[in-house]
Homo-oligomer: A and B are copies of this chain.
Amino acid sequence: MANLAIDSASQDLLFREAHSAHRFTDEPVSDEAVKAIYDLIKYAPTSMNMQALRVVLIRSDDARERLVRQMIDTNKEKTSSAPLVAIIAADLDFHDEMPRLFPHFPQAKDIFFAKRDDRVPHAVSSATLQLGYFIVGVRAAGLGAGPMAGFDVDGVNKEFFDDGKHHAICVMVIGNPAEDAYHPRLPRLEYDEVFTTV
């Protein structure tokens, strides 16, 4: 594509040939791989540099079992068997870090975000934006990502965030895609259905 600056191999790996992955090989996903992903995608922007994304890596059998119980039936098997499962969450107290993360306007913490109800939509928005970056980052590491919204959100929040200060937005399976990892591509909207000009 003449109007793009990244090479076609990267275009394919990140977008064109990438699919949400549902089956994986047995190869583990190391903490080093996850660190490399974060070290790449942490630079992408968030509103007022909020960075509300928080991630829980499920490494123990006990945590895996507790998470599987919260998934809808069609998501249980892959959540049980994937090399790595992560809970993607929003930190509802992200504002505590703002004096450090947004140092030219530290008052934002108290002016805009003193009330929890005011913070929640911003926390979810920031973490959701970063979820997009994270999916791209998993692919940039040559791995497959299977983001899932089909789980009991209140159940996951209660089970994994008993401080009441986090909100789960996604559960993601991560690993090396198996040969039968993908469902057929679903339709995408045409450019003219998404873009208008005024």
Contacts and interface: CB of A to CB of B under 8 A. Distances in A.
A116 interface: no
Contact of A141 (B3, B100, B141, B194): B3
Given A44-B136, A51-B189, A57-B198, A13 B4 contact: no
Interface in A44-73: 44-45, 47-49, 51, 53-60, 63
A59 B197 contact: yes
B11 A186 contact: no
Interface in A71-106: 97, 100-103
Contacts of A169: 125
Contact of A149 (B47, B59, B60, B102): B47
A2 B101 contact: no
Contacts of A185: 43
Contacts of A11: 40, 140
Contact of A189 (B42, B63, B160): B42
B15 A32 contact: no
A100 B186 CA distance: 9
Interface residues of A, number: 78
Contact of A194 (B20, B48, B54, B197): B54
**Chain copies in complex:** 2
Contacts of A15: 40-41, 43-44, 133
Contact of A18 (B34, B43, B58, B131): B43
A36 B3 contact: yes
Most buried by B among A30, A56, A195: A195
A135 B45 contact: yes
Contacts of A42: 188-189, 194
A35 B191 contact: yes
A97 B189 contact: yes
Contacts of A18: 43-44
A177 interface: no
